[in-house]
Amino acid sequence: MTSAQAQQKILQLSKELETHNHNYYVLDNATISDFEFDKLLEELISLEKQFPELLSASSPSQRVGGQITKTFNTVKHQYAMLSLSNSYSVEDMIDFDRKVREGLGYQSDQLFNDQIEYVCELKFDGLSISLIYEDGKLVQAITRGDGVQGDEVTTNAKTIKSVPLKLHGNYPPKFEIRGEVFMPRPVFNAINKEREEIGEAVMANPRNAASGTMKMQDSAQVAKRKLDCFLYNVMGENLPFKTHYESIQAAKSWGFKISEEAKLCHGINEVLKFIMHWDKKRFDLSYDTDGIVIKVNDFKLQKNLGFTAKSPRWAIAYKFKAEQVSTELLTISYQVGRTGAITPVANLKPVPLGGTTVKRASLHNADIIEKLDVRIGDQVFVEKGGEIIPKIIGVDFSKRKPDAKKTKYIDHCPECGSKLERNEGEANHFCPNENECPPQVVGRIEHFVSRRAMNIDSLGGETIVQLHNAGLIKNVADLYDLKKELLLPLERMAEKSAQNLITGLEASKQVPFERVLYAIGIRHVGETTAKKIAKKVKSLDVLLNLTKEELLAIDEVGEIIALSLHEYFSNTQNKVIIERLKQAGLQFSLSEDQHQNGTDTLKDLTFVISGVFTQHNRDQYKEMIELNGGKNSGSISKKTSFVLAGDNMGPEKLKKAESLGIKLLTEDEFLKMIE
């Protein structure tokens, strides 16, 4: 076959595959069998391998994945991805309609006569994404991030079958379209069933699963997760649309998957009918939705209404109330966390709730059990907190059995038998046997290797348990004694896996001091506190010799954290582990760059950041403030020294800053201050 013939055949196969793909994943109307589709795809891939110069970035073969993305680049959004205000009642919605009318200058006698056109859409529970198309081809996919900038995930987005790689019809030369990536419930349930069978931890919910999948480094693994995507917002310069509904119908004609449930409503009464309908029918869907998004349809009216600092005035999200059910409490079991904290768990008679079958619910701690007076055999009321984690919110005392005995909280660890302790002022009981209690040992190692700590992604929870059960690791220092020849005899540990693990451990030796301090898992020392301590003390050797008074002088360190630090470093076993980690080559002091970049320019100054920025994002400004000795605060008070104010600063914060006489700094003024 000549190159010209191959090119013609590749174009034919690509067009055919995209048509079948659109029919199946967007129109839900399969026209050929999976087997026939796979044969066509295999033929295309074979030709592209034979003629690699003919491989296109928008080829259907790119949906299979296979590319590895080690780091996801941060990209600034051309249009900020703002969040929506939430509403929870009919009264809230009527009030929203009133504010829309008043914002458009309606007189009082018009408020209930003229009907505003709204578009109602299901609020999908997944990961917000922005797709950018040029000349009908997908060129970039960006997650929402902080609203100002997000992560580029183009390679992974191409594996989603409902995201078109090439458009058809009369589309604009360049535009952006936003939507929600989600994991369908049947896919989520199938993956969890498989994970359960092979002993892996199940995923918590479809939303987290979709979000985590989109940040996987191997796009082939992303492809296997069978994510889906609804699109709902077209953006760009000089687009030929007068209304939102018109724009999404046009997007549908270009090949995008637009929810069939979106509806154009005339007036608030039709909006309320739509909400009431889906409050019941949402459980029949194959994907999760936690509310309804309501938008003013006319773009000109949207522009007139404008934005607040955080959200548009022309749109709102109605959040469904958490569903509540009653079921029997069968038993109470107790779980041990990585810090030794004991969490009581209610084992329930299975009951449908929010589209899933609930068998367990959190009871939090001994005080909650006492407050609710929960007893085995009780009929309890269960609710999904935030539509995700089930929790018991009460007891139906009218159905309590006469012989129901008061719940006695355990006094010994269910895993290792150690006597539990409870510190004054703390809600949880703790197992003190931190170096030998299995869940604590494994949990601490899992924390140590996690992404925000040492970031050893080649070492997952299942592998840690396997290594622990094999007696190869009993603490985090043991990780750095691992050798490939010790790993290879383990089940499911091939040459490549073993080498990746060793390579990951070696790379972790470059992780900076503040993350190492967070990784070793001192109780109450989170990321922010570890960063503050590291910046102040500069090295672990200095930290080890600080008195309680000197510890308390560090920003973010109070009595509880100071006591926790003292107890941790007084423990002989912990001292040995730290010394071994030092010998392994981990960073226990700030690097030269960190020493040089840090200043006391902003010492004793407290900043509040508000608004949208152009030169750096909020997190970067927070780091600059901390790096130069300043302190960040989320709210304005008399203690606030300056407000770093960007565009669209919140009116309430502006008003409070002015009333307290607090100076507002522009980006340029702040950057000049720390030069």
- Annotated catalytic residue 319: no
Give the Cα separation of 483 and 258 in Å (integer).
52
Residue 151's beta-bridge partner residues? 74
Residues contacting 155, CB < 8 A, separation 6+:
65, 67, 69, 219
DSSP string, 148-189: SEEEB-HHHHTT-TTS-SB--SS--SEEEEEEEEE--HHHHH
281 to each of 87, 126, 285, 286, 390, how far by Cα in Å?
19, 19, 7, 11, 21
Q: Number of C-alpha atoms within 13 angstroms, CB side, residue 344?
A: 25
Give the Cα separation of 475 and 482 in Å (integer).
12
Dihedral sign for Cα 481, 498, 451, 447, please: negative
Give the Cα separation of 449 and 457 in Å (integer).
7
- Helix then strand then coil, in percent of the chain rounded to 5, is 40, 20, 40
Whether 229 and 179 have beta carbons less than 8 Å apart is answered as yes
The runs of H, that is alpha helices, within 161-293 are: 185-197, 206-214, 219-224, 244-254, 268-281
Phi, psi of 520 (to 5 degrees): -70, -10
Q: For the sheet with 86-87, list strands across it.
A: 86-87, 315-319, 289-296, 117-124, 263-266
Whether 151 and 72 have beta carbons less than 8 Å apart is answered as yes
Whether 561 and 525 have beta carbons less than 8 Å apart is answered as yes
Task: Count CB-CB contacts under 10 A for residue 505.
Answer: 19
The number of residues making up the chain comes to 675
Q: Which tokens in the block code for residue 411?
A: 């006094």
Q: Which helix (H) or strand (E) holds 129?
A: strand 127-134
Token match 């959200």: residue?
Answer: 311
Give the Cα separation of 376 and 406 in Å (integer).
8
Catalytic pick among 49, 76, 99, 123? 123
Q: Which active-site residues does the annotation give? A: 123
